[in-house]
Amino acid sequence: MANRYGGSYRNRNGNGSAGRQDEEYDPYGDGYTSDRYGTPPQQMNPRRPPIEVPRGGGYGSPASRLQRANLNERANETNAERQISQVLELIKSEWPAMVQDDCIPVSLALQLLDNSSVGRAHEYKDFKKAHKYLQDSLKNIVHEHHQGFNSSIGTFHKIQGSIQSSQKRVRALKESLAASRTSLCVTDPELKKLYKSSQMYDEVLQTMNELEDLRTVPDQLEARISEKRFLTAVEVLHNALRKLRKPELDDIGALNDLRGYLANQETALMDILTEELHEHLYLKSPYCQERWQNLAKKQGVYNENYSESNVLTPFHLVLDTMDLNQPVTEDPAKNPEADTFYYISLVVESLNKLGRLEGAVDTLKQRLPVELFSIVNETINEVDQRHPSSLRGGTGNAQGLHIYGDRETQMRADVIYDLLWTLYGKFEAIAEGHRVFHEAIKALIRREGGGNNSSLLGSFRELWNLYQNEIRSLLHNYVTTDADVYQFNSPRQGAMLNGNKDISRDHLFKFSEADPKSVEMTTEYEALDDIIKAAVPGLTTASRKTQASDKKLAGKESRRSAYTGAFDNRNTPGSYKSLVEPSVFNMSLLLPPTLVFLGRLKAIVPPGSDLAASTLTSFLDNFLVNVFQPQLDETLSKLSDSVFGEADSFQQDPAWDLVARRPVFKGATAFFAVITAFCRMLGTIPHDQALSSLIISQMVRYYERCLTWFKSLVSKAQEAGVGPLSLRYSAELAIGDGDIQETIKKLWTSDNLDRELIEKEVGLLIVQANGRDLEPNDVIQDRDVISSLCLLYTSMKWLSVRILSLRHITRFDTDSSQPTLPRNQNRRWTLLNDPNKASGEQHGPVYLPMTQETVQSFDNIVSSYEEFAGTVLLTLHMEIRCRIVQSLSVALSPKTAPYVLGDQEIKEPDPQILSLNSELVAYDETIVRFLRDKETAFIRTGLGLLINTYLVTNALTTQPMNMRGCERMQLNILVLQQNLKNIEEGVDLARAANYFSLFQEGPDAIVNKAKKDNERDIIPEEEKFTYDQLKALVELYYSEQLADPERGIASAGKRKMGEKVLALSEHMWQS
């Protein structure tokens, strides 16, 4: 306050304190405030315009006019008067105790002398300054009014003389009155007749005046109704009815028509007030459009048709500014409809004075469902016109079984958000109107002492029940797939159950088909308007503003179009027109606006109503458990079935490089997309373990589906119904428990491929393979099956890693699937309402919320995926080895490849060896294309050792063999070695070649080698053979002679073989 105490005090040198501006502490300087006893009132600048004072109770309190008058009086004060007023205000604000009637100066003095923390000694200087300021102000008063004081002395004597002369005149007047009284006591009959005649004429004149007033009542009443001054209209009507009920007017027959007219007008006025209340409660009036549009725009919807307007006043501030404790008064200078809330309270006050408030409340309750339903339909039609159907996304009849992309999700979000924000903006504006309606009735009951009238105050509960039904219906329409989407599955109007048109219904009249601008309709409307004006004046009027009339006409036309057909399908479920395809994924779009609306509705619910604000979301719990969860289960199952049932679900995904480093199944990526979409949606709704369990159950189903697919890949071909399913030999070894499976698992989990484990695996495999005859159907012949197994491994490995990334433990343990457990009543219905969560704009991490109990099932299925992938890898590892064993067994068999050959030169290896080479190359190309280097090395390593060991161990199976047959064996070994060099690094079949070279050298060389080996301490691995292997080689050498049909040759060969075996045993006794 730059001029708090006026210029006369601040700028004088005589009595002011202008010289104090340089002091460190100036209690009267700029910006001085003290909050010890409150803030002193601000000084009004006389040159500034008066401050606009907020209007008081009932929107028309005279407090503002009184305050303006006080400000004008203060503007005419002199400097001295203003200064004494300022010092009094200062004392009231800084030293309030001094102006109290029970002030004790000694107590204040003691406080000013008290230097303790509770004393006021530090304010003593301020007290002295205030005292000095008071003394100066009094001096200024004396200086300014000294002439008046001097002149008042002479004036006093004049006044005293005037009083004495007046006393004398009063005595004379008293004597004259006494004489007149004596004269009037004399009786005069003529005067009595004149008096009675005068009274009769007065009554006649009064009756004539009343008749004249009653004659103008219809015009006054119509004028007040047309001006929307309903309080005045009710008062005029009641005054007229009160006059007509006087006994002296009963015999006047000319008033009977007026009595009937006013009786009709009372009913008509009640109807008019009810309609006006409907206009503003249900947003039919053009004056209500701005508020709900601002509410919708504030909440998130944007429409270019919405006009820019002033900042929206929060509803709680509107309630605070309304003084409903005082009766509402009319202000003829303003349009009452401009302020909707004031207008509602005005209509309520008018209905109460009319005595029809309870009937109007009943009418409101009866029409509430119809009004809300029409508002929803009207809003749907508006949004439908704003968004072309081609830009909504998901227009196909997919029964909700579609995972939308970012673009489609954004288009659907635009439509749903536009619909919900617009609708909830209207709902909020209607709720605010009902709250004002509730508060106005409550204030009336309190003023009139009516107690707690539940019939008048229960409308808000009914409104909430209808809101709840409409919201539930919208959620049901856009979440459940049995809703009417455009005209997807629902029969059109007039269609019978069998789908055929009912011809008799084609020509039924509908209001929506009428043209309100046609000549016939216009003529009928004008005739009807004339009849209404003649019967009930004021019900329709042409005195409204043209702009308002046009806006209201447009609003009524749109509302009429919403009414027509609104109840054509009301008795059938899902009667609203759905703007986008229903899907459970719409839940993430529907919940945020709904939760925002419910949160704002909590601030509108009357505090004393029977509706608890904390229970506003309870119906969402019911919807989540009884509607959404079954629909989610059904949709998730159908989506999973569609993924499982696709013909190419187990084919390579063409776009695998966008999601994985190695090729994966198309079904795996589609299934993970389904899981991700559902997890993202679950992140936008309150957590429920039942929903997470549904997703985990589908993971189990996919595991079972992949396991079935794996068994179909590794099963032998057999006729249906022949017997139990028989697996390929590699699958048996990978699945069945045994030493081979344990050895392979250790080999896979070891840091480096252990040589000892590889040798152990080779030995166990050869022993088991020699114990059974491997048939061609024991190995996988189809290369596509190998590719499918590789894809199955990479898919399960990729899926286990990606699903594991969804693991998230939450503290919310609500589980609606277990009714025996106590449910958490405080469900997480807080603002999961970030619009970006479901609009396709977010790309953050996605989680599957689980509790400690649910996460065990999740971990088990992830472990199952990993173990299953390991089983597939072991199958691939064993398959190539089984194929080598099976091919070599065929190549070494004399039945298919005899090794007793003629003298012709050996130029080509066995066809079985060539086939094995081509199969090994194709197998290696397949695993390299699909698997990582680690898995490839695990499958490749040990193939050369297996061939080396098998050829040496099973050499005797080739008998009989001659030199030419041995040459072909050497050629087979050479071909295998050259081919394996392209597959396994560092492969060498020298041991098998050395073994059969001993055959070519003869039995003596075999015995000599055993003798030399016995003398050597270190024997190279490729030259090291056991006694059984060398003995088999000796037997193989003499096998041709033993097979000779002549007994002499066979006997000689047997004898020589015995000698060589004996010599061999002598040199290798230790073995």
Query: Which residues on neighbouring strands pair with residue 652, listed in sequence order?
Result: 665
As a whole number of angstroms, the distance between CA 172 and CA 159 comes to 20
Query: Which residues on neighbouring strands pair with residue 809, listed in sequence order?
Result: 850
Between CA 516 and CA 522, with CA 517 as vertex, the angle to 5 degrees is: 80
What pLDDT is recorded for position 570?
40
User: Nearest 5°: phi and psi at 511?
Assistant: -65, -30
Q: How many CB atoms lie within 10 A of CB 677?
A: 20
Closest listed residue to residue 230, CA positions, set 58, 144, 354: 354
Closest listed residue to residue 298, CA positions, set 318, 308, 312: 312
What pLDDT is recorded for position 789?
93
Q: How many CB atoms lie within 10 A of CB 430?
A: 23
What are the tens digits of pLDDT across the range 683-705? Answer: 777 777 788 888 898 899 999 99
Q: Is the pLDDT at 490 greater than 60, yes or no?
A: no
As a whole number of angstroms, the distance between CA 1071 and CA 1069 comes to 5
Beta strand spans in 811-909 (E): 848-850
As a whole number of angstroms, the distance between CA 900 and CA 366 comes to 108
> pLDDT band for position 706 (50/70/90)?
very high
What pLDDT is recorded for position 154?
80
Give the pair of three-digit tokens for residue 947: 């061939």
Angle between helices 854-892 and 911-930 (to 10 degrees): 160
As a whole number of angstroms, the distance between CA 295 and CA 306 comes to 11
Give the pair of three-digit tokens for residue 540: 């329709």
What pLDDT is recorded for position 718?
67
What pLDDT is recorded for position 906?
77
Radius of gyration for the chain, computed over Cα atoms and rounded to the nearest angstrom? 53
Question: b/e string for 298-313 if b means 16 or more Cβ within 10 A?
Answer: ebbbeeeeeeeeeeee
Q: Is the pLDDT at 708 greater than 80, yes or no?
A: yes
As a whole number of angstroms, the distance between CA 610 and CA 457 comes to 10
Place of tokens 């993970």: 672
Highest mean pLDDT among 442-451, 472-481, 991-1000: 991-1000
The helices-and-strands tally (H runs, E runs) of the chain is: 38, 2
Where does 835-853 have alpha helices with state H? none
Closest listed residue to residue 756, CA positions, set 745, 765, 747: 747
Highest mean pLDDT among 79-83, 901-905, 1016-1020: 79-83
Q: Is the pLDDT at 990 greater than 50, yes or no?
A: yes
As a whole number of angstroms, the distance between CA 764 and CA 953 comes to 12
123 vs 39, 93, 109, CA distance in Å?
A: 16, 14, 11
Give the pair of three-digit tokens for residue 719: 């006729």
* DSSP conformation letters of 168-198: HHHHHHHHHHHHHHHHHTS--HHHHHHHHHH
> pLDDT band for position 815 (50/70/90)?
low
Whether 919 and 883 have beta carbons less than 8 Å apart is answered as yes
200 vs 89, 203, 244, 578, 639, CA distance in Å?
A: 62, 5, 20, 78, 98
As a whole number of angstroms, the distance between CA 826 and CA 183 comes to 95
- Mean predicted confidence (pLDDT) in 340-363: 84
> pLDDT band for position 869 (50/70/90)?
very high
Angle between helices 911-930 and 783-804 (to 10 degrees): 20
As a whole number of angstroms, the distance between CA 804 and CA 845 comes to 13
The answer for residues whose C-beta is within 8 angstroms of residue 627's C-beta and 6 or more apart is 475, 476, 479, 480
> pLDDT band for position 63 (50/70/90)?
low
- Mean predicted confidence (pLDDT) in 267-277: 85
- Mean predicted confidence (pLDDT) in 442-458: 71
As a whole number of angstroms, the distance between CA 337 and CA 320 comes to 20
Q: Is the pLDDT at 32 greater than 50, yes or no?
A: no
Higher-confidence position of 855 and 1046: 855
Closest listed residue to residue 622, CA positions, set 677, 680, 686: 686
What pLDDT is recorded for position 144?
81
Closest listed residue to residue 290, CA positions, set 311, 269, 274, 260: 311
Q: Which secondary structure element, helix H or strand E, spans residue 620, and what is its range?
A: helix 618-623
Whether 231 and 330 have beta carbons less than 8 Å apart is answered as yes
Whether 996 and 973 have beta carbons less than 8 Å apart is answered as yes
What pLDDT is recorded for position 315?
73
Peptide bond into 960 cis (omega under 30): yes
> Which of 153-162, 836-845, 951-960 comes out lowest in average pLDDT?
836-845
- Mean predicted confidence (pLDDT) in 939-963: 88
As a whole number of angstroms, the distance between CA 404 and CA 406 comes to 7
What are the tens digits of pLDDT across the range 491-511? Answer: 333 333 333 444 333 444 445
What are the tens digits of pLDDT across the range 652-678? Answer: 888 888 888 989 988 888 889 888 888
* DSSP conformation letters of 236-273: HHHHHHHHHTSGGGTT-GGGHHHHHHHHHHHHHHHHHH
- How far is CA 73 from its chain centroid? 60
Rounded to a whole number of angstroms, the distance between the first and last alpha carbons of the chain is 118
- Mean predicted confidence (pLDDT) in 407-416: 80
What pLDDT is recorded for position 212?
66
What pLDDT is recorded for position 486?
32
The dihedral sign for the CA sequence 991, 997, 999, 1005: negative
- Mean predicted confidence (pLDDT) in 39-56: 40
Q: Which secondary structure element, helix H or strand E, spans residue 851, and what is its range?
A: none
- Mean predicted confidence (pLDDT) in 881-886: 92
Give the pair of three-digit tokens for residue 361: 């409340």
Q: How many CB atoms lie within 10 A of CB 641?
A: 14
Give the pair of three-digit tokens for residue 317: 């501030």
Closest listed residue to residue 696, CA positions, set 709, 679, 684: 679
Do β-strands 848-850 and 807-809 pair in parallel, antiparallel, or remain unpaired? parallel
Query: Which residues on neighbouring strands pair with residue 961, listed in sequence order?
Result: 899
- Mean predicted confidence (pLDDT) in 247-264: 70
Q: Is the pLDDT at 12 greater than 80, yes or no?
A: no
User: Nearest 5°: phi and psi at 131?
Assistant: -65, -40
What are the tens digits of pLDDT across the range 577-588? Answer: 778 888 878 888
What pLDDT is recorded for position 309?
47
- 3-state SS, residue 825: coil
Share of the chain above pLDDT 90, in %: 10
